[in-house]
Amino acid sequence: MTALLCGGIDLGGTKIEARLFEGPEASTTELRRIPTPRQSYAAMLEALEEQIRWLAEKAERADLPIGIAVPGIIDPESGRIFAANIPATGHSVRDDLQERLGRTFPVVNDCMAFALSEARGGAGEGHGTVMGLILGTGVGGGICVDGAPSRRHGGLAVELGHIGLPASAAARHGLALRRCGCGRMGCLETAVSGTGLANIAEDMLGTRMSGEELVRQGESGVLDVWADIAGECLLTIQLMLAPDCIILGGGLSNLPDVVPRLERSLRSHALDNMKPTRLLRARHGDSSGTRGAALLARR
């Protein structure tokens, strides 16, 4: 098999996905998903080791480069993780796997891995500064400069979801302020994520609905409010980071006409004479985080 083999693992709250990638374009050749054990860190580590061994067997290479994408904050020195959805807080997955298996596995925030994948061979190819924005159950981001993950103080990715919701937007639409999963009140994530969209539907319609249900039932008013607030989020990105493009991922990026809808919203919020940054959908879709981790390991 070609020497350009690499493996990626995406450690999520519900599943651990492993993909084997091949060739200069890093195309998926093998895929395996297993449930994430949530009862203990030790059980989760055993499952990670199982996925690593599976990748090595499929590649017929014990030294296969394998990267691991995880949600949360990863301390760049100790490797210790702070995460809400996996039993890894206070542990270093990087060091513990090295001790168990005798080799190094780079561990990267999943949003940063997503941005790297889209910057190298993805929708952001050819752009200098690429921001990856995941609009899923939560809201998170990563940033790459010249095809490499940007160094971030303290291991933070681009934690857009935990910036405060603009008071003007909440007042404009009569939205209730809600407590975020991080413990703070009124984070952007409570209105811009998939959960946030359901929150808006509850405020406006009296019932919680997903994006797909809103589209199916023609509730465009709720989607318009969501897009208006998401536009505020996009403006924050542009004012703070000024990326050449913003790549959209996560479940809400699959809503019909999401790119033109958000482009209109960003233009409506943009400052005078400010050229809005380009919005694009992810090229590698659900595999982008896993692919980014693999590219990091291969590099």
* Residues of the domain holding 15: 5-105
pTM of the entire structure?
A: 0.91
> What SS3 class is residue 132?
strand
How far apart CA 228 and CA 172 sit, in angstroms, is 10
In this prediction, the residues of the chain whose per-residue pLDDT falls under 50 are 1
Same structural domain for residues 129 and 76? no
Q: What is the pLDDT of residue 85?
A: 77
How far apart CA 27 and CA 49 sit, in angstroms, is 23
Q: pLDDT for 100-148, tens place per residue?
A: 999 999 999 999 999 999 999 999 999 999 999 999 888 999 999 999 9
Q: Which of 59, 83, 105 is the last residue of a domain?
A: 105
> Tell me, what CATH number does 201's domain have?
3.30.420.40
Helix H, strand E, coil C: the string for 149-216 is ECCCHHHCCECHHHCECCHHHHHHHCCCCCECCCCCECECHHHHCHHHHHHHHHHHHCCCCCHHHHHH
Element (H, E) at 117: helix 110-119
Q: Which of 77, 105, 133 is the last residue of a domain?
A: 105
β-strand partners of 249: 134
Q: pLDDT for 145-175, tens place per residue?
A: 999 998 888 888 899 999 999 999 999 999 9
* Total domain count, the chain: 2
Same structural domain for residues 168 and 136? yes
Q: What is the pLDDT of residue 183?
A: 86
Q: Which of 105, 131, 153 is the last residue of a domain?
A: 105
Q: How buried is residue 144: exposed, middle or buried, by Cβ count under 10 Å (0-12/13-18/19+)?
A: buried
Same structural domain for residues 49 and 121? no
Same structural domain for residues 96 and 55? yes
